Amino acid sequence: DTADPDKLVQCPYDKNHWIRACRVPYHFNKCRKNHPELASKLKTCPFNAQHLLLPNELAHHIANCTDGRTVNLDDHHTEVPSKLKVPVSSWQPPESEENWEEELDEQQETFIWGASASGSKEVKSDSSTCIPPGLRAPRTLPWRK
């Protein structure tokens, strides 16, 4: 039972070690460092990384692994239950009031700051049009010292 954290598991590196299931990953890391020659020989089960076996035992284990049976049972269920089906969205975008093609055809006059709307394209050089009263333009700019 993999749900029981206090279940005792035998260490594959040292058969005298019995470890609680919740401590297996930590213990395996320690024993792997203490037994490097055995660690290089052991193979990992494709269904459960905590199953470490010698290569000659691996084929038999894969055929009988309890974790492998649960994986194989899931392969046969290809139909999605009706509760999990996602509805198709029926959202439609609202009609737009803008038409960029029509705006291009209107050929509006290009906006120029300081130019009058009366049709003259002269830019006013009067500094009072841009700066409110009581303020003045700086004499030096901070990046030009």
Q: How high is the pLDDT of residue 8?
A: 93
Rg for the chain, CA atoms, rounded = 39
Q: What is the mean pLDDT of residues 128-132?
A: 63
pTM of the model: 0.45
Q: Are residues 1 and 37 in the same domain?
A: yes
E-state strands within 22-105:
43-44, 52-53
Q: How distant is the alpha carbon of residue 13 from its chain centre?
A: 37
Q: Are residues 26 and 1 in the same domain?
A: yes
Q: What pLDDT, on the 0 to 100 scale, is given for residue 98?
A: 84
In a domain, 59, yes or no: yes
The structural domain count of the chain equals: 2
Per-residue pLDDT reduced to its tens digit, 14-48: 999 999 999 999 999 999 999 999 999 999 999 88
In a domain, 4, yes or no: yes
Burial of 51 (0-12, 13-18, 19+ CB in 10 A): buried
The per-residue pLDDT for range 55-103, each reduced to its tens digit, is 999 999 999 988 877 655 555 555 656 667 777 888 888 888 888 887 7
Closest-CA residue to 113 (of 105, 103, 97, 124): 124
Residue 115 has pLDDT above 90, yes or no: no
